[in-house]
Chains A and B, each alone.
Chain A
Amino acid sequence: MALLELKHITKQFRQGKKVVTAVDDVNLAIQDKEIICLVGESGCGKTTTGKMAAGLLDQTSGQILFEGKDISKLSGPEFMAYRRSVQMVHQDPFSSLNPVRTIYQTISAPLLYHKFAKDERDARRRSIEILEMVDLTPAEEILDKFPHQLSGGQRQRVSVARALTVNPKFIVADEAVSMVDVSIRASLLNMLRRLNQELGVSFLFITHDLALAKYFAWEGRVGVMYTGRMVELSRSPSLIEKPLHPYTAALMSAIPEADPRLTRSKERIVLRSDDIPSLTKLPPGCHFHPRCPVWLEGKCDKVQPILTEMGPGHQVACHVAFDITGGGSKISAGTR
């Protein structure tokens, strides 16, 4: 049984007079201890998907199962347990931490409220343990500081520490390392991976940076979203080595690499158009077809492809990928 399962999840928003579908029929099962990265360009529905998974936003249609149970049918205490088990860490630790509270106040409040600590003394002891888990040392000193006295990386560690107070099984990390400097990003990522390995926390790690996704989820899976739809979902090595969706292949070929020889010798896939379609005016058939270099006229502009398993642990939603036996040789480029 999956820890958390999204079944045909759709989310619509009203934008002025129009209704847009920000997340369109997404299916995703997150297993115990699993890491899944969601990638895609801004506006493709990553945050909305993450918020629904964390129970912070209701879906318009579809079902969310937590440990096999539909969360809309949970009893009060069961729902509370689910909400505790799934925590979200946001991009900007500045706006998500209360500026007038010390770190101790921020960390101890959920400990005391959810009775993970009996009293203030116990809360302090536990707070120190948690800060040490996220490498915030000396923890004793950090506890009495305010958010503005910490660096961006340290604040992000506090956000993670706060999520850990309630012993979550699953953390949605939304661009959690995007705003910190590169020099400390690695240690944040390594810390999150340790939480996965040592505490068994599952992650839905949202990022627009494919290289980061590869690093963080090498043993896990990567999902690629485009205009609200999951277009490819695969175990990481197979996705990186042989992307099956032309959009994934285009992203991978476009990304500059921090290695001058590598980045200058990459094969580039040129799209037919640079315009990202508006959610209020999506093209028919495959939403990607107006930009797709390998589209099939009469098919891609007519029929919407459904995410389908094409290889072991490798799902894709693309007519051309479906047609190619052996999978995607016409699509992959720039990979080695």
Chain B
Amino acid sequence: MADTVLEVRDLSLEYRSRRGPVKALRNVSFDLYKGETLALIGESGCGKSTMGFALIRLTPGTAKITNGNVTFVDGPNRINLMEMSENEIRRFRWTDMAMMLQAALNAYNPLIRIQDHFIDTAKAHGLNNKSEIIARARRLLTGVQLDADRVLPAYPHELSGGMRQRVLLALGLLMQPKIIILDEPTTALDILTQRSIIELLRKLKDEFNFTMIFISHDLSLAAELADRVATMYAGQIVELTDVFSAFEKPRHPYTFGLTRAVPTLHGAVEKLESIPGSPPDLVFMPSGCKFHPRCPFATDKCKEVEPKLTAYGGHQVACHNWQQVLEESQKAR
């Protein structure tokens, strides 16, 4: 059994809204293994980004973590993030766990040169020696295949989207975190740029040995990079398994549906199937299994009882009818 670096138990989060609480995370539990790459997939509005932020308690004022624990395991030390003070958690971010946001662009202050982004970030975490910071920044920028001389004095808007994404990676690695969380790391990048970021992530992971969670609505990125895949739906993980099982032997109708909705370039030409309807309103959710109104496998039980994420061997799934789903998914292959 692999070592666990992060234990998430019953994590629940609500956003305040005029219509009532938005239940964006509902009792999420999972273990993150040391050194693995975990992909969080699902349609927009399923709670993927919220999960990323909640794990490092970087939630907006309208959000409240209503339940649960996130425990960081570092050798013999177990640190409960929910019990940390604001100061402690601020230090913890970047040094132990860093999150790189959707749309790299927004993460930068446009009035500050790239080198000052590095200096400010390092200073905020107790590293004050400017020449050491710049030396580190140079090493990292070279590592992400950028010309440090050109990039350090530049302003964010002077860089292309792909370059900004690379700078963001370098910045995220500055304090050598053990876990990094990437939200849509290649969304909006062109194919060849996306490919070079993918290869870069592989290389950096080999070099720095961090654990990675990445969030993407793009299944092909999960197929490419992930060791394990967690499918999110209506604020919960509904399936969690290794990447091959997720694509080849899905047991949740939602994962199965997603894999049938995207074409491949080099595979056979198949008819694509879509999933009817859209994800539920997280204020007024359906009864029972939250997927039942869209689910072709739904039975009466599904309308009444919400299935729990349950492990069958290493494969976790939250569906009353997973056996039928597995059977269908094998027929479809």
Query: Which residues of A approach B to under 8 Å, CB–CB?
Result: 41-42, 151, 153, 181-190, 208, 210-212, 214-215, 218, 240, 250-252, 254-264, 266, 268, 271, 274, 276, 334-336
Contacts and interface: CB of A to CB of B under 8 A. Distances in A.
Contacts of A251: 191-192
B164 to A, nearest CB: 14
Given A182-B219, A186-B272, A259 B267 contact: yes
Contact of B264 (A182, A218, A259, A264): A259
A224 to B, nearest CB: 11
A187 B270 CA distance: 14
Interface stretch (B13-21, B194-202, B304-312): B194-202
A276 B193 CA distance: 10
A258 B247 contact: yes
B259 interface: yes
A192 to B, nearest CB: 12
Interface of B: 43-44, 162, 190-196, 198, 217-221, 223-224, 243-244, 247-248, 257-267, 269, 271-276, 278
B266 A185 contact: no
Contacts of A268: 195
A256 B274 contact: no
A211 B263 CA distance: 6
B266 A266 contact: yes
Given A185-B261, A211-B265, A254 B272 contact: no
Given A181-B217, A271-B192, A274-B192, A257 B265 contact: yes
A271 B191 CA distance: 13
Given A214-B265, A335-B266, A190 B192 contact: no
Contacts of B192: 41, 250-251, 254, 271, 274
A183 B266 contact: no
B264 A41 contact: no
A274 to B, nearest CB: 6
A215 B194 contact: no
A335 B267 CA distance: 9
Contact of A190 (B224, B269, B272, B276): B272
Given A41-B192, A258-B220, A264-B224, A183 B275 contact: yes
